[in-house]
Chain A
Amino acid sequence: MKTKRQIQKESTKIKISNAAYNVYSEYGFSATTAMIAKEAGVSHGTIFVHFPSVNELLIHLIEIFGNRLALEMHNLSKKNDAIETLLIAYIDVLKKYESFYIRLISERCLLPEDVQMIFVNIQSSIAVHFNEVIVTKIENQMIKNLPVHLLFNTWMGLLHYYLLNKDLFSPEESLLERYDSELITTFLELIKN
């Protein structure tokens, strides 16, 4: 059983993580830890008790949503579900982190290399699960016989183009809430045999 102190420690860590998501989403990765401390309502030093460096904080944030995404994809690809189911589940997780994800894809090159690699590895894991599902569909002639990396990159290209231009496509509301069905339906229509 956890002690009161442990529970409080975990709660503060969650509070800092949530504040960091908000601050990075709004201001990008040049935002300072002082801004995160203010948002979380904790002292500046408290952040470093939980995350000894900014890199560790960033890695923690990317891993939380990345692991969630990877586990969801893993479960669905094992069932060899429809591609549509996989893409819906994928977008549903992204919806919860939309602003943070846009920062990640637009500012990735500005992040320290070890942090970048965490994100790139998550994308690789998504690609593997996408591949598992798509290969079977190609074998069953349900999908065009195109290289799997191009099918994956076509989907990511479409999705990222809309996300990176959110200010033009959906300035007032969540882009993924507005375009999810249209993007999925169009992509499936393009690749089906």
Chain B
Amino acid sequence: MKICIACGMPMLEKSDFAGEDTKKDYCIHCTRPDGSMQSFEEKKAGMIHFIIKTQGFDYKAATKIAESNMKRLPAWKDCFNTEV
């Protein structure tokens, strides 16, 4: 089973993959309209938005949660080494 490198979602079916391409390492939710993978900032903003929407947490707490999640994902490791 492949795990999305950008958000950690399990990719079990073809429809889970970006552009339904099972060779891709990222999922449909981490894809831009042109098929490329979202940037670090785009993904982070999306995650924060979702945490607030689904759990109602404070923005600062949601940011901390999103960053801690992203730190563990292969796609963003280098971003944290240089930016945080």
Contacts and interface: CB of A to CB of B under 8 A. Distances in A.
Given A74-B9, A74-B10, A127 B55 contact: yes
The B interface is mostly helix, strand or loop, or mixed, namely: helix
Contacts of B9: 74
Interface residues of B, number: 16
Interface string B56-75: 10000000110011000000
The A interface is mostly helix, strand or loop, or mixed, namely: helix
B54 A117 contact: no
Contacts of A127: 51, 54-55
B55 A121 contact: no
A75 interface: yes
A124 B69 contact: yes
A121 B69 CA distance: 7
Given A71-B10, A74-B9, A124 B68 contact: no
Contacts of B12: 74-75, 78
| 6 tightest Cβ-Cβ pairs between the two chains A and B | A149-B56, A117-B68, A127-B54, A131-B54, A121-B69, A127-B55
